[in-house]
Amino acid sequence: MEQKDPFGRLQERLFAERADRRLFQDAMDRGFDYLQTLEKRPVVPVANALSGLSHFTSDLPDNGTGAREIIEKLDLYGTPATVASNGGRYFGFVTGAALPAATAVSQLAAFWDQNAAMQVMSPLAAKLEQVSEHWLKQALGLPDAAVAGFVSGTSVANLCALAAARYRILQKMGWDITANGLFGAPRIRVVCGDHVHASVQKALQILGFGAAMLERVPVDSQGRIIPEAIPALDEHTILLLQAGNVNSGAFDSFEEILPKAIPSGCWVHIDGAFGLWAAASKRLAYLCKGFEAAHSWALDGHKTLNTPYDSGVVLCTDADALTAAMRSSGAYLVQGTERDGMAYTPEMSRRARAIEFWACLKSLGRSGLDQMVTTLHGHAVHLAQELSQIPGISILNDIHFNQILIAMPDDEATQQLMQYLQSSGQCWAGGSSWFGQKAIRVSICSWATTGTDVERTVEAFRNACTAVLQKQDKFQG
Ligand SMILES: *Cc1c(COP(=O)(O)O)cnc(C)c1O
């Protein structure tokens, strides 16, 4: 006999799983155990952990698998293959860890499964976005008029800010881009530093600004825009600045650039993915001096603030331009009385990531945030100083914030040093290139990094350096 309700049995299983307290506790316990072993794990997975990933290779199974078995499989083959970027000795790219309160809160939020598109869909998410926006402006000293959109990261935050800029500049020239589109629109100029971040270039590209039309400004030895080299600006121009060069950590001189740029009528955007948080540190706030005069800013939660992924924020003082650029309409859309998150972001349905963002700021408070940011810098200064004592190693940048660029006398030796370091499992840092020279880039972004981690990292560099020099001796001898 044909089954009337083919989903019925499966649905019964799903309800049983939902009622199985031990199932959820088991997942939580495994996660908790993982957190406790972070300091002892190799920072990147060892070879046989990676080969274990082949257990996931398969075609889509015909029949479903019970949640218990799924968790077991993930823990057995997934856990060993994770990168321990949630610990204190992962210095690759610019990667934050996650504050414990936020990790815990994200479990609760997962049960809620809130959609942050509109206030009516989640009054809670709308409220926490509103509070996070307020706290963020207070923490960084940004203008009250700025509105925030909670997005997946700085790449999208840059995209939103530049879409707002494009809307406003064209509107001032009598062209409504939302009605008429980009084709046939008057030309907008884009001025940026030679070290503009790849994500900004991607955002520009998506918005119709090709690489060839960028007016690139030369930079100094730290990657900062040379203010005198900025071409004449006008109201048809977007000026792109950065708080935190992704290699050197250097900040453009907002204090010098903005008082001249703003009166020209141009739109100033600051990419501050990790560096904008310097404004929350009394000791480091001087790096951001004058930045509040800009029109828009982009920053990450998942780097310096140590929220879980994925979490970025666009801030914009021209709320009308941002919401016009992000506008969508549909008969079923309901305007909330307070805040509809989707008005400030490209997405409609969104994860309620403000829950974790809010939890991080709540967990630290203003003084804790200041201390954490200041400490990341302190570790970078200390580590750079210790590394510079190791014969053969030189530091290529000034330590502005949390980034260190490290090199040996030639590119090949630098490459070898990086390979020895990475295979040590003691810490992990990736490669970059600085004015044509190969470098190892260390970025200190994790709340969990301690003085002991810095010592262990120095030791790992010293051993790797010895190995490189021995290898060279062998070839010469
Ligand atoms: C990381 C970074 C970005 C991109 O941010 P995502 O969160 O990875 O999208 C942009 N600009 C700078 C300076 C960055 O460091």
Work out the average pLDDT over 74-89: 97
Tokens of 8: 């019925």
Contacts of 72 (CB under 8 A, 6+ apart): none
Q: Tell whether the model's pLDDT for residue 173 goes beyond 60.
A: yes
CA 399/CA 381 separation, integer angstroms = 6
Work out the average pLDDT over 379-396: 97
DSSP-based three-state secondary structure for 464? helix
In eight-state DSSP terms, residue 308 is P
Residue 179 alpha carbon to ligand 1 centre in Å? 31
**CB burial class (10 A; 0-12, 13-18, 19+) of residue 59?**
exposed
CA 157/CA 149 separation, integer angstroms = 8
Q: Is 271 in the pocket of ligand 1 (CB under 6 A)?
A: yes
Q: Take atom 1 of ligand 1 and give the residue whose Cα is closest.
A: 273
**CB burial class (10 A; 0-12, 13-18, 19+) of residue 226?**
middle
Q: What is the DSSP annotation of 43-62?
A: SS--HHHHHGGGGG--PPPS
CA 88/CA 172 separation, integer angstroms = 49
DSSP-based three-state secondary structure for 117? coil
Q: Is 199 in the pocket of ligand 1 (CB under 6 A)?
A: yes
pLDDT digits (tens, 9 = 90+) for 21-55: 999 999 999 999 999 999 999 999 999 999 999 99
Work out the average pLDDT over 8-33: 98
Q: Is 269 in the pocket of ligand 1 (CB under 6 A)?
A: no
Q: Is 312 in the pocket of ligand 1 (CB under 6 A)?
A: yes
What number does the ligand 1 atom closest to the CA of 244 have? 13
Q: What are phi and psi of 287, to 5 degrees?
A: -65, -30
pLDDT digits (tens, 9 = 90+) for 299-325: 999 999 999 999 999 999 999 999 999
Strands 437-443 and 403-407: antiparallel
| 447 close to 306: Cβ distance less than 8 angstroms | yes
Side chain identity at residue 471, one-letter code? K
Looking at the chain, the whole-number percentage of residues with pLDDT higher than 70 is 99
Query: What average pLDDT is seen over the chain?
Result: 96
Q: Tell whether the model's pLDDT for residue 250 goes beyond 80.
A: yes
Q: Note the pLDDT of residue 333.
A: 72
Strands 312-316 and 296-300: antiparallel
Q: Note the pLDDT of residue 2.
A: 56
What number does the ligand 1 atom closest to the CA of 272 have? 13
Please choose from 196, 241, 271 the residue to mutate so as to test ligand 1's pocket, defined by most ligand atoms within 8 A of CB: 271
Q: Note the pLDDT of residue 270.
A: 98
Tokens of 139: 């923490």
Q: Note the pLDDT of residue 109.
A: 98
Residue 85: band (very low, low, confident or very high) from pLDDT cuts 50, 70, 90? very high
Q: Note the pLDDT of residue 3.
A: 62
> Of 263, 250, 257, which is closest to residue 290 (Cα–Cα)?
257
Q: Take atom 9 of ligand 1 and give the residue whose Cα is closest.
A: 155
| 276 close to 252: Cβ distance less than 8 angstroms | no
